[in-house]
Structure 1
Amino acid sequence: MQVEDDRPSGRVIEDRRTRKFAIGPKLGYWPSPTVAVYAQIQKEYDVRNAPRGEYY
């Protein structure tokens, strides 16, 4: 969720905040302390002011 209005070139653009809610499984694997690998599938619901779709 975007918590502040956009401010391109100092102008405030109201009512254009991005809002998304997604749910789905996420799997993480840490082969070493400095490397992490994630796999996820998320279905989006209640999308406002942004493209709608799924995350893979």
Structure 2
Amino acid sequence: MTTTVGRFISFEGTEGVGKTTAIEGLCQRLQAAGIDYVRTREPGGSPFAERLRAILL
């Protein structure tokens, strides 16, 4: 049986500080290294969460 250890990386900060740029850079490096990853955002991912996100942002 093979066990895979994962990591949860979170980027936090106010608007305009470069979170999206940093995340995109990290994803590019992970992909180039052949490392699988899942990119998420909160709130997001469901119709209700997208509406909430639009209100908050």
TM range (shorter): under 0.3
> Could you tell me the TM-score, scaled by structure 1's length?
0.18
- Which structure dedicates a bigger proportion of its chain to helix? 2
> Could you tell me the TM-score, scaled by structure 2's length?
0.18
Q: Larger Rg: 1 or 2?
A: 1
- Which structure dedicates a bigger proportion of its chain to strand? 1
